[in-house]
Amino acid sequence: MTPESHRPRLAASMMASVPFRDLDKTLGLMRTHCPEAPRLPVMTRSFHWTFEGLPCLHLDRENKRVLMLPPEEREAEVLAFYEAVEADDLDYFATSRAAAPFYYEMVEALKADPPPQMRWLGFQFPGPMVLGETYKQLSGMPAAQHETLWDMLVKGVALKTRWLEQWLSGEFPGVSIIADHPEPSLVSFTSAQGTGSREDVIATVNEGFSGVNAIRWAHCCANIDWSLLTEAQVEVINFDAYQHADKLALYGDQLQEFLERGGMLGWGIVPVREDLIKGEDADSLTARLREGFDLLVGAGVDADLMAQSSWVLTSCETSLLSEEQAARAFALVGEVSEKMRAECGF
């Protein structure tokens, strides 16, 4: 888990998916508002950049969905995939410039002129559960409900994550790398209609990070059984603190143990709904974050340890906002981080 010197102490960070398509604008917002912990921004709404190395995928443009075709129809791909897994061939799972030009362009820009304060650099790759729900079989059922397709997705996510970590570690020596798996589908896997038991969910989260040495960050903006993540092998639990701090406070004992092991909390305090963010400012959001802290302290979480172990960011992706409001969300994150740090003496 996280060494004491690497605790964020209410540093500002970001979710990767943004509405901007202008690299300079995005870079400027990161430099100004989250210079210690920027991310490689995902500057597309398409999932196509996630495809490389994963077999059986087909983009159904007419119906705007991603399909996973039956493995028996793509035997050569399936065989090549499992050979690469067995050989631990990370290059097979590389994310290319053609697939994700925004990643490469941002790496080049950050290398050319890195923010002096940059201590962490994050990247995002969808977690296996969200891909298992998003990618569909020909029948329309989630790929997660097909044993072989599901196995390939979970293994593929881990290996693609490891390649991204290896790439960034080589490009930015001395900077701590954050590997973020958004998992909004966590809420459905243990629902009455879900496909996984509690043990299955924890095992899948862990396998999606298998072999990853970066800071393992899991995001879920829904209200879930948060002990799924306190018991998983993740180092950051990133939640929608604007709406769900009171629900998280129901897990005070588990959270205290998680933080004592070196775990961290990502407080998504800046909302990404247009109707909500318009009515907020840095003072109101700081007060709301302080209330969230008080709820967890009241549930038995140590106040100083929590402050040392907390990040400040938006409740979910800023790609859900207009460009104007997304830029404002970045600014609010930075301002709330500064205010909270001042209050806590950081």
pLDDT band at 191 (very low <50, low <70, confident <90, very high): low
pLDDT of residue 2: 54
Secondary structure in 3-state letters for 84-140: HHHHCCHHHHCCCCCCCHHHHHHHHHHHHCCCCCCCEEEEECCCHHHHHHHCECCCC
Locate tokens 């960070």: which residue? 13
Distance, in Å, from the CA atom of 125 to the CA atom of 105, rounded to the nearest integer, reads: 17
Burial of 177-201, coded b for 16+ CB within 10 Å and e otherwise, reads bbbbbbbbbbbbbbeeebbbeeeeb
Give residue 3's pLDDT: 56
Domains of the chain: 4-50+96-344 (3.20.20.210)
> Which of 249, 221, 248 lies closest to 319 in space, CA to CA?
221
Per residue in 249-286, pLDDT tens?
999 999 999 999 999 999 999 999 999 999 999 999 99
Average pLDDT over residues 287-291: 98
Residue 313, pLDDT above cutoff 90: yes
Average pLDDT over residues 300-325: 97
- pLDDT band for position 146 (50/70/90)? very high
Mean pLDDT of the chain: 94
